Amino acid sequence: MRRSLDRFCVADAALCLRCNRCIRHPAILVWFRTVSRLGDGVFWYALMLGLVLADPDRGPAAALHMACAGGTGTLIYKWLKGKTSRPRPFAVHQSIEPGCDPLDHFSFPSGHTLHATAFSWVAIAWYPGLAWMLVPFTLMVALSRPVLGLHYPSDVMAGALLGGLIGWLSLLI
């Protein structure tokens, strides 16, 4: 079992390094820094405000639903980061270069990916016509994490699974 886990960790780090090499190209670095910054919350807050302004009847409820999913996501990912204390890839592997400053010290799970997935689930449930924009943006946010050397691919997968679960469960409540 330990051997399998070790192989998985080596493969996870190798894939992260492969993704991270992309930032050697200045345009790619600027693109993913921008996506990451928007994924910090700027894009999602603007979307919530836009929903409220564009649809005064349903927009406030949709924005509140998104905010509740986001708050739940924050509680879960902060708790998990504190429990696992997994260092960021660039802190462990000298060959992985951080493409921007991290928001905290720990890697697991990816909060950006968790929130992007949860917000997208909720927003698309309320407004299916937004899928054309939200799905690609969510994928770019997820990809930005290993490209910028801030998360291992497994952190991103865990964030996506948790965010999807939070979004889906919030629709059932």
Sequence-ordered alpha helix ranges (H) in 40-110: 43-54, 59-84, 89-92
* pLDDT score of 1 more than 90: no
**Burial environment of residue 163 by CB neighbours within 10 A (0 to 12, 13 to 18, 19 or more):** buried
| Spatial distance between the Cα atoms of 87 and 104, rounded to a whole number of angstroms | 10
> Percent of the chain having pLDDT more than 90?
83
The CATH number given to whatever domain includes residue 129 is: 1.10.606.20
**Confidence tier at 4 by pLDDT (50, 70, 90):** confident
**Confidence tier at 10 by pLDDT (50, 70, 90):** confident
Q: What's the total number of domains in the chain?
A: 1
Q: So what's the pLDDT on residue 30?
A: 96
* Per-residue pLDDT tens digits for 59-102: 999 999 999 999 999 999 999 999 999 999 999 888 999 999 88
Region 121-138: mean pLDDT is 98
Region 142-170: mean pLDDT is 97
Taking CB atoms within 8 Å and a gap of at least 24, the contacts of 123-130 are 123/47, 123/51, 123/62, 123/66, 125/167, 125/171, 126/51, 126/58, 126/61, 126/62, 126/65, 127/51, 127/62
User: Which domain range does residue 50 map to?
Assistant: 2-172
* Cα-only R_g, the chain: 17
**pTM beyond 0.75, yes or no:** yes
Q: Give 112's Cβ-side CA count (13 Å radius).
A: 32
Q: So what's the pLDDT on residue 103?
A: 82
Query: In this predicted model, which residue has the larger pLDDT, 48 or 2?
Result: 48
Q: Tokens in use for 21?
A: 């090499």
- Return all residues near 103 (Cβ < 8 A) that are at least 6 apart: 40, 111
| Spatial distance between the Cα atoms of 148 and 31, rounded to a whole number of angstroms | 11
- Return all residues near 90 (Cβ < 8 A) that are at least 6 apart: 96, 97, 98, 149, 150
